[in-house]
Structure 1
Amino acid sequence: MSSLLTRVKSKMSIFAHRKARGMLDGEYGSVFKGRRSLDFDDLRAYIPGDEVRDIDWKASARHGSPLIKRYVAVRRQTVLLVTDTGRNMAAASLGGEEKKDIAVMALGVVGYLAHRHGDAVGLVCGDGTTSRSVPAKAGEAHLERLLREVNDRTGLGSPASGIGEQLSFVASNFSQRMLLFVVADELVPDAGMERLLRRLRAQHEVLWLTVRDAQLAGPQSAGARHGDRYDVADSSFLPGSLAALEAVMRAYAAAQEQRDAAREAVLRRLGIAHVHAGSSHDVMSAVFTLLERHRRGK
């Protein structure tokens, strides 16, 4: 059985060659707010959008350009991975992979960043009817177990998805301040979920990654079989001949745009940083952007 964490580390290694060394770790280290819990680590070049208060003016004067102080956590934090393992996540993604593969990659990246910073990582996963929790611990073996849990519990035979069940479980069972990293499909939070997220946001740091669905309308939708489309969420069926009609494609695109706008509006109101990923290749840049947006409060 191949290691899921090894795949994650390989993807991170490739990404590291494309970004300045330490930038991803620096973005992760900025998530937990409060300088009293951080110790100075090193310096890096100033990037537009960085906090002015983090500039080391003496070192900048010697160097000839602005340098930012980087810090590391001096006490262990807790990261809680929250994800959907219902049947929606076994469907095809925008890039053609199963959505659970993208979820595992995203959870693995954030979990491994936490591991490198000495933080404990836990998991809450499940479907629309039940949730399962794995207590937070440190170590690569533990992280591999969490990723395997998500991978093995997600299938077309699973109950319907419902990330609200997992969020309610977190709200009822976790009082310690943590970083919640939520991975879900293209849901639109209703009024009840918005209230729940507001409660969670008041107590925790919350980051959200949406896994992009396959396009059900269009001539070459990812995941389509023999040209026909099948929605695992509600068992609806769309013949390929209809999916390729111009009117159907326009209506589908308009509906998707409305869903995206509604989701983004809710998360923006709550101050929750949010990104999308349509394939596992998108995950590294998406996580980097997510951490950066959270640091900047966007």
Structure 2
Amino acid sequence: MSSVPRQASPEAREVRRKIETLSSTLTLPTVRRALGVLEGEHSSSRLGGNNDPMSTRDYTFEDEARLIDWKASAKQGHPMVIDRERLVTSRVHLLLDNGLEMEGRTTSGETAREVAGNAMCMFAALSARRHDRISLVFADSVNIIRKPFKGGLAQFEEAIDNGMGGEKRHPRNFEALLAYARTLNDRDSLVVIATDEHALSGDHLHSLRLIAAMHPLMLIDVATLNPFRKIPFGQITDGFDGRRIPAFMIGEQSANSVDTHRKYLTAQLQEHLKASGTTLIRAKSSEDMFSQFIHLVSVTLKQTSFARFDASSVSLGGMA
């Protein structure tokens, strides 16, 4: 792990504002589709699906047009909707690697922890809008802390900032985090795991496959800076003992070798995760994470023949 002297992260704060804007801009039907197609459709005792009828009510502007029951509407003289068993999950588990290693910096100057935290806010923004039950989990080598969550995005942001805060840090225990995910017995609930690229190895693939067999699984992989490449801010130091990286080791040849090795490992990881049905988002900054998430949702909705998700309306430029 490498780090630089602590600086403010205006990019992380700016992306947080964009997430807040996104959560209030998207319609509820779009939110349901966006999460539903990512996690797969399956039975749940929630409203808004296609199975058994549950109740009849007046149509509202947030309802999808396909939910209108024309016979009931003709009888009542105005649009009516029949609520049916919803075909998506009702619980979301957000698991965050909170180890000391997550203080490693990215090319944007943010810590991996900040990028991972904003990724969790992205999922929480949509899940809270859909009224899912959100469970937030922080894990390191000493503690695994679960925080059941109720409320909107503002309350979630406070909870995750408090959970990631604190001066005393412990090394990570990624194996314990995966073991915790394997104990989740509410089958088909969405599981999102966020860590950095150094935590993942071939030894974890079996555990990830077992989790993906029980749950829709999203993996957030934060890319940290290359310790042998020059950066525009601060001096690179070792994250554990604070020693500076020797100047003679910083250069294009060493940096290119590290980049090539990381790309190879990422390609292998993506291939294995895709085979198990796991979705991987690898991001080098909060802005990169946000952009990739919007692109992923947009492409997925189009591929599943849903109504077009207008990514341009929530683009980075359009939400400045």
* TM-score scaled by length of structure 1: 0.72
Amino acid at match of 1:180: V
Indicate if the aligned counterparts of 2:19 and 2:125 stay in contact, CA closer than 8 A. Answer: no
Amino acid at match of 1:101: E
Residue 123 (1) aligns with residue 136 (2): yes
Question: Tell me, which stretches of 5 or more residues in structure 1 are unaligned?
Answer: 1-5, 45-70
Question: Tell me, which stretches of 5 or more residues in structure 2 are unaligned?
Answer: 1-12, 51-62, 67-83, 305-320
Distance in structure 1 (CA, Å) of the matches to 2:102 and 2:291 = 21
* Aligned counterpart for 2:254 among listed residues 248, 256, 265: 248
- Structure having the higher Rg: 2
Distance in structure 1 (CA, Å) of the matches to 2:186 and 2:238 = 38
Deviation at 1:169, TM superposition (A): 1.4
Corresponding residue of 1:279: 285
* Aligned counterpart for 1:204 among listed residues 209, 215, 218: 215
Summarize the alignment of residues 1-298 of structure 1 with structure 2, pairs less than 5 Å apart: 10-12=17-19, 26-34=33-41, 37=44, 38-39=48-49, 41-42=63-64, 73=86, 77-140=90-153, 142-153=155-166, 157-172=168-183, 174-177=184-187, 178-187=189-198, 189-218=200-229, 220-221=230-231, 224-225=234-235, 229-232=236-239, 238-244=245-251, 246-291=252-297
- Report the 3-state secondary structure (helix = DSSP H, G, I; strand = E; otherwise coil) of the residue aligned with 1:80: strand
CA RMSD of aligned residues (A): 3.6
Residues 17 and 120 of structure 1: CA distance in aligned 2, closer, same or farther (over 3 Å): closer
**More moved, 103-112 vs 281-290:** 281-290
Residues 237 and 24 of structure 1: CA distance in aligned 2, closer, same or farther (over 3 Å): farther
Corresponding residue of 1:52: none
* TM-score scaled by length of structure 2: 0.68
Residues 181 and 29 of structure 1: CA distance in aligned 2, closer, same or farther (over 3 Å): same
Deviation at 1:32, TM superposition (A): 4.0
Amino acid at match of 1:268: K
Amino acid at match of 2:284: G
Indicate if the aligned counterparts of 1:208 and 1:274 stay in contact, CA closer than 8 A. Answer: yes
Deviation at 1:262, TM superposition (A): 2.8
Deviation at 1:129, TM superposition (A): 4.2
Indicate if the aligned counterparts of 2:16 and 2:118 stay in contact, CA closer than 8 A. Answer: no
Indicate if the aligned counterparts of 1:90 and 1:99 stay in contact, CA closer than 8 A. Answer: yes
